[in-house]
Amino acid sequence: IWCFAGVLSTQGSGFFHNVGSSTAGGMYISNSQGSITNSSFHYNGQATAVGGAIHIVDTSLVIKSCDFFNNTAYTGGGIYLLSLSTNTLDLLHCDFHENLATHGGGLYLFNGRVNVLTSSFYDNRASGPLFTVHNTTNCSGFVSG
């Protein structure tokens, strides 16, 4: 899914084995707003891409009760967030496991506001930092193992 300057609402969806040429295999969302609920992202992305499952740019988004498993990217195996404005990403009751990236195995955040509530991060891998957070606020509620 590619969403630019729109409103995205996805519920109960599955994104499996998708590959993007230089960006996310599952979704690219830019200058938009919306929600993703009860969805699964498995085996998306590639080693040279940004955001294995989801690539988010300047978007306010709520991601709730979603599962990110075995997604791959150069930066942000599960999710890559780039925010140059005051947008907010809410991660609520999500699981990130066995995602792979050079930087930010499960999650890569650059700027913006991120709220994490009761979300689990486990067995994610990165050759650089496992979680990469730059200039981001409200990162709490992580459960890792």
Local mean pLDDT, 10-residue blocks, the chain (145 residues): 96 96 91 97 94 95 98 94 87 95 90 86 81 52 47
The predicted structure's pLDDT at residue 139 = 55
| Whole-structure pTM value | 0.89
The predicted structure's pLDDT at residue 20 = 87
The predicted structure's pLDDT at residue 51 = 94
- CA atoms within 13 Å, Cβ hemisphere of 86: 0
Cβ within 8 Å of residue 111, ≥6 positions away: 82, 83, 84, 134, 135, 136
